[in-house]
Structure 1
Amino acid sequence: MWFCVKCGKTTPREELIRGLCRECFLQTFGVFKHEPQIVFVMCPKCRSWLYRGEWIPSTPIAEALENVLNGELTRHLIDGAELQSVNVDHYEQVNSSTLVVKVSLGLLIDEKLLDVDKNMLIRVQYKKCPRCVAKAVGKYNYLVQIRFTGETPPDKSLKQVLMAVLNAVGHSTEISVKESHEGVDLEVDDPGLAKKIMEVLSKKYSARINASFKATRYNAHQGKWIGVTTYVARIPVFKEGDIIVYRGKIGLVKSIGEGKLVLWIPEVDAYEEVGIEEYWKGALRHAVRVEKETYVVKEVNSNNVLLEN
């Protein structure tokens, strides 16, 4: 039979922590050397949060608090205690700068498991993240320049491409759109968003994409250069009725689909489906010179037709 040395309560040996029952241990030692002062920094615009110098994309508040507490509470624990888990059961915003958070802590103290429920005060600070600050002053990290073959982009093609991009990434996404006489420029700050735009332009329109990077400053904390990555996506332009040359044969564009053309090849009187990416391989091109002559049908006799120029 084992007893708590403080209150005398009968306690199984495996539940005694430093000779004390759970209640007496918490009253005598607690779990923290001193009450933790936790500050939770959040961007008021995009709801991302700051942890150890890094801005984390927006997540549910409870999940973000768990991540911060899991990293911050360890250094406040008493000697011999290890933090095993943190769960935020409930939180309430007392005012704009204070949260009351009910947490369940899983601890290992002297190799004994101890579950503790605590109410903690967390101070909230609001600070705009670098991304939102950059957007506010018109800065961006990624520039997508959509261009077309030919001297000027056709209005219909430009609108179709722009709508396809916006539908793919979501109209609510923050993208700055600037039209020019050469095409359209998209200014974005999210690398994942820039990649998604590239995928749409490449798969749907067979765009050829070239990338370049221009450094603007060196970030000593991250150990890398910061700047603007520019993607130039050039889209081949075809329309129904265009006369083209495909693998040395004259053809006529009969219809246009996603990333493909249906051609009529008069030399063999056949239709052929061709991927637009063939343009970049040199196999598909517009006819450089087209000559037209007009004839009048004078007579039809059996399988022969008499024409007059």
Structure 2
Amino acid sequence: MNNTVCPKCGKPTTKLFQGKCKECFLENFTLAEIAPVLHAKLCPTCGARNVKNKWVDQGSLEEIVIHTAEDALFVHEMAEDIEIYIEPRALTPYMYKVHIEVDALLLDESFHQELETEVRVLRESCDMCSRISGGYFEAIIQIRATNRIPGDDEKQECINIANTVLERLVNKGDRLAFISSSLEIKEGTDLYVGSSNAARHICKEINSRLGGSFTESASLQGRKDGKDVYRITFSLRLPEFMPHDIIEYKGKIIEIRKFSKNVTGMDVETGARFTTTPDELQGATLISKRKDLPKTMLVAIENDDLMLLDPDTYETVTVKKPVMFSAEPGSEIPVVKTEKGLLAIADLS
């Protein structure tokens, strides 16, 4: 085994540690170091923390203080089996005294060191909140409907879906996933979205759940840092018919149950399941929405027939009992008037 000489103490050694023998190296060894005062930038609106000039989402104020101390703590690169204990103590709402204990193994020696630091929390608006307050947006989603104006319930459902998608994207780190503003117009609603990526995810999710389609187009807004800056407009089209619409299609009266990539429903007269595609449904006409159907008195039930009062003439008429019908005589039930006469509408199931 080759020996060398420690340049500090002159003793022979088999290995040098940073130019010294083991004893000399450990003589002035410092396991961990931290600055006496640290600063943590905290967004007062959303609670995000600035780490190395990048805003990241964090938890409570105490957790932010702990993360700040962890990020600033230096532990010797040769240490192994490191264990760190951090205990913050609030001096004021935005100033913390932090006690740190570090245990580690180095060169078969166990080391323990205690440190103190102070974390001062500075409040500053993050990039996302600054952009939201400034009305920043990269994309516009135009919520419209085919051959009609979308209803308030539909528009609100689209907004609810959008908020769910945005929350998911924010949790994944997309800090431009926000709606800075919205605009109600006669034809529908416009959503101003922080990023085109978030807007695209919203449109896909709405189409997946409600049906319809969307297109996108870009317009040049200018240049920034030598690059062209574009704004994307997403034209979202909800389908012509929505769930629980009563339509006439090729001589059949159909209640739509689901409208997405395929259209499913039920034949009001026979109770048979109905399936087609949105393209094949062209030419169908809307008779009524279920919620807008008139109701009339159910007089009696005889086998497969129902005796109803005509809601216009108040005469008793006999109609076929629909499948999955459970109403009792004396109650009011929804009906629809067609060229084939009065039809009773089955319960939702």
Task: Determine whether 1:183 maps to 2:183.
Answer: no
Which residue of structure 1 aligns with residue 236 of structure 2? 233
- Segment of structure 1 superposing worse, 126-135 or 189-198: 189-198
**TM-score when normalising by structure 1:** 0.61
Task: Determine whether 1:149 maps to 2:146.
Answer: yes
Which residue of structure 2 aligns with residue 166 of structure 1? 160
For the structure 1 residues 87 and 136, does the alpha-carbon distance in structure 2 shift closer, same or farther, using more than 3 Å as the test?
Answer: farther
Which residue of structure 2 aligns with residue 5 of structure 1? none
Q: Letter of the aligned partner of 1:159 in structure 2?
A: D
For the structure 1 residues 43 and 255, does the alpha-carbon distance in structure 2 shift closer, same or farther, using more than 3 Å as the test?
Answer: same
Of 97, 100, 104, the match for 1:100: 97
Which residues in structure 2 correspond to 1:101-140 (within 5 Å)? 101-107=98-104, 109=106, 112-140=109-137
| Offset at residue 202 of structure 1 (A) | 1.8
The DSSP-based 3-state class of the residue aligned with 2:45 is coil
For the structure 1 residues 73 and 63, does the alpha-carbon distance in structure 2 shift closer, same or farther, using more than 3 Å as the test?
Answer: same
The alignment covers a number of residue pairs equal to 247
| Offset at residue 129 of structure 1 (A) | 0.8
Which residue of structure 2 aligns with residue 43 of structure 1? 43
For the structure 1 residues 117 and 229, does the alpha-carbon distance in structure 2 shift closer, same or farther, using more than 3 Å as the test?
Answer: farther
Distance 1:98 1:32 in 2: 23
Q: Please give the per-residue CA displacement for 1:31-55, whole angstroms capped at 9, x wherever unaligned.
A: 4567354221111111101111211
The DSSP-based 3-state class of the residue aligned with 2:142 is strand
Q: Please give the per-residue CA displacement for 1:225-269, whole angstroms capped at 9, x wherever unaligned.
A: 77655433211122634333xxxxx14452122323425499xx7
**TM-score when normalising by structure 2:** 0.55
Q: Please give the per-residue CA displacement for 1:49-98, whole angstroms capped at 9, x wherever unaligned.
A: 11112110233445444544444333xx56x6558757564323323542
For the structure 1 residues 34 and 256, does the alpha-carbon distance in structure 2 shift closer, same or farther, using more than 3 Å as the test?
Answer: closer
Asked if the contact 2:69/2:119 (under 8 Å) is kept, the reply is no
Which residue of structure 1 aligns with residue 340 of structure 2? none
The DSSP-based 3-state class of the residue aligned with 2:58 is coil
Which residue of structure 2 aligns with residue 90 of structure 1? 87
- Segment of structure 1 superposing worse, 80-89 or 206-215: 80-89
Task: State the identity as a percent.
Answer: 17
| Offset at residue 162 of structure 1 (A) | 1.5
Distance 2:83 2:222 in 1: 39
Gaps (5+ residues) in structure 1? 1-16, 245-249, 289-309
The DSSP-based 3-state class of the residue aligned with 1:134 is helix
Which residue of structure 2 aligns with residue 273 of structure 1? 274
- Segment of structure 1 superposing worse, 87-96 or 199-208: 87-96
| Offset at residue 184 of structure 1 (A) | 0.9
Distance 2:68 2:224 in 1: 24
Distance 1:216 1:111 in 2: 63
The DSSP-based 3-state class of the residue aligned with 1:286 is coil
The DSSP-based 3-state class of the residue aligned with 2:275 is strand
The DSSP-based 3-state class of the residue aligned with 2:116 is strand
